[in-house]
A and B are shown apart, each in its own frame.
Chain A
């Protein structure tokens, strides 16, 4: 068993592995408890055996994953409905979570490619997507997905057709334009440098004209190609009777090109080809970065949504069961929801009775009973027996309809926040036009200069004022910050989100799922010996309480031959008798007198454990605070933010939490509309409010807030409404988002000031006709480099986490 350990230290030149054998679990690297061997849990032991069995031990030498990342957490979801047959092979696209290093990519690909049927297994590390192709039956896809899950990657299928191809096409078009502009700029600049140095003396007019002609030959076609995005946008704006930043850009570039051609034809000394094409090149860089940052954020958001989406089991009229994608479930379909599963659709319970945890929907932390006729919402957790739900277009009076209405109204009411850069550009464009026109008229009429000289100076003004630095100032900041946020597990979903978050002065927090983890955690004292035994049974189940128990005792030994009785519990027959883990009735304790305080009876989730020779043991579960919630709340307060809790839960539960976190302003038992009303009231009193929430009931407030954040475990609708989605258990991600948002705005503002200040200096020069092509080129490049360098300051600095 020490083979891996020996191999670890073998070649010295290799990148040093972070975890040495013995420091943690030999598979996932998590810290080992006392009495544990090489592995922290059975999942890891099995995963390690699988990896070794495939001959991929090399992975452990190179892995750089954070401890615990690769701890297997159950089988993969049903992927079969997502398999597509094309070109005689089955294809499947998967989102893969847990890919953090090159070795992970290697492991995932090699583990799959080892299967002889697999034709292609290729991970895209940037998007965390895996494309699989194999020969053979579609069902093989499930086996492959399960293999990844067994190693410890979380996988979720996604719909390749749903991908936004328009974005990819646009990105490619810009990149192509950028390549052409870059090529032309480099070559024209090369020729221009010769011309400039020629001005100093030795170059004859014939050579200069030759170089000008060569420049024209390169620049004119390049401008036609690379300028297209700007010309198009400018035309659209002009035909709509508006003006935007692309209008002066287009005029400036075209005027400069035309004037330069005129100068070249007439054999004059100055041509601005290099300025025109370099300008386009810099502007295209800004455009591309901007588009890419936004596209990446959206892609990441899709990734999060996909990891939570599950295949739905639909009961067909003939009694058979089919698995479908959630969006292919039609109104009226009967959906089966097993015990412990999240309810995938909105509808009415038609069969079965059970307990439903609606905490993500209403914020209410107590489970509610459900019987035929009860309306249930997607996202709720079925804690009781399996139920059947008839998918329904929820009626006008349901909670869901209300939330949909509220969200619509909230989004309408918010109005479009105009990005800082756009606001600046909006005021800047007319100024540029006026300056250009005034220069031309001034030279032509007042100074009685020839028309072409006046035009040349006007073109110089347009070129020198063109917002290269302005166009780069904000996109570069966005790209740098979104990259840093993503490394910290925070996904930004909107281009203006940073700006809005930085302006916030009040933070509203939801309780369940936001301040708390939103899933049951074992509380109170449990006998470790009994706990381990009970967890041995619990390992066999996917029920949330069983999983919570198994998580609490990771070193439990799995019990074989466990029978799960849906809605009751787990049963195992040992040599000495029967062991039962389940609800009170299942364990035969219905009549027994227990210590009962009514609050606990009502509020606590519990599991009982009975067996031969032991006193019936009770395990109690409650939703617990996120581990760093207190520190995060303190940090937010220290940043001068006013905190409030708005929850849909019972006042008692909220009060206790508010007191613990020292948040004096709290309200409980709020309906979604009331949350929204509180938010509106705050906004009307002049406050900028950030909403942090995860539930369906928070969604309207998230949509209406000035900025909003939502944890990755939130319901789809909340994540879609939120500007930021943060992953993991740490609430301090919120603090990081605030810090980075503020820092980014500071830098963006500095950049704008730099860019505008440079223009303020350069405009008088160009108006008075002192700007030669050389001066224009130096000024333009230096200001762009300056703002990029300034933005890159954000990339350095502390790496939290």
Chain B
């Protein structure tokens, strides 16, 4: 049963990391345009949030 002393905190910490990631995503505006994200993923060369990335060869 000693394994519980390790596993329970571990599970909670992992959960907290997930929660933190969600709250970060929420703040960063990841949930502002769900429909758009669904469509964008189908396009290969999307211009990105700012400008098209023109890399020099």
Contact = CB atoms under 8 A, between A and B. Distances in A.
Given A62-B43, A102-B40, A113-B52, A186 B15 contact: yes
Interface centre among A103, A109, A207, A211, by most chain B C-beta atoms within 10 angstroms, is A109
Interface in B16-46: 16, 18-19, 22-23, 26, 31-36, 38-40, 42-43, 45-46
Contacts of A126: 32-36
B19 to A, nearest CB: 4
Interface in A123-165: 123-127
B32 A119 contact: no
A123 B37 CA distance: 10
Contacts of A110: 47, 52
Nearest to B16: A183
A119 B11 CA distance: 43
Contact of B49 (A120, A127, A190): A120
Nearest to A58: B45
Nearest to A118: B51
Contacts of A191: 8
B52 A114 contact: yes
A172 interface: yes
B38 to A, nearest CB: 8
A187 B35 contact: no
A756 interface: no
Contacts of B42: 15, 62, 102
A464 interface: no
A190 B11 contact: yes
A530 interface: no
A101 B42 CA distance: 11
Interface stretch (A173-181, A359-367, A373-381, A612-620): A173-181
B6 interface: no
Main secondary structure on chain B at its contact with chain A? helix
A420 interface: no
Contact of A106 (B19, B35, B47, B49): B47
Contacts of A175: 26, 31
Contacts of A176: 23, 26
A125 B26 contact: no
Nearest to B21: A179
Contacts of B33: 124-127
A122 B16 CA distance: 32
Nearest to A113: B47
B36 A124 contact: yes
A105 B15 contact: no
A121 interface: yes
A210 interface: yes
Contacts, number: 82
Contacts of B32: 124, 126
A105 B43 CA distance: 10
Nearest to A194: B4
Contacts of A210: 4, 8
Contacts of B40: 102, 105-106, 125
Interface in A87-101: 101
B46 A106 contact: yes
A179 B52 contact: no
A585 interface: no
A214 B47 CA distance: 47
A183 B19 contact: yes
A189 to B, nearest CB: 11
B43 A102 contact: yes
A518 B15 CA distance: 58
A800 B42 CA distance: 26
A119 B26 contact: no
Given A207-B1, A214-B12, A179 B23 contact: yes
Nearest to B50: A120
A218 interface: yes
B35 A121 contact: no
Interface in A212-232: 214, 217-218
A210 B9 CA distance: 12
Given A119-B51, A122-B49, A105 B12 contact: no
A217 B8 CA distance: 11
Contacts of A204: 1
Contacts of B31: 175
A120 B43 CA distance: 19
Contacts of A125: 33, 35-36, 39-40
Interface of A: 15, 58, 62, 101-103, 105-106, 109-110, 113-114, 118-127, 172, 175-176, 179-180, 183, 186-187, 190-191, 204, 207, 210-211, 214, 217-218
8 contacts: A106-B43, A124-B36, A126-B34, A183-B19, A187-B11, A187-B12, A190-B11, A214-B8
Given A119-B51, A126-B33, 20 more contacts: A102-B42, A106-B40, A106-B43, A109-B46, A110-B52, A113-B47, A120-B50, A124-B32, A124-B33, A124-B36, A126-B32, A126-B35, A176-B23, A176-B26, A179-B22, A180-B19, A204-B1, A211-B8, A214-B8, A218-B12
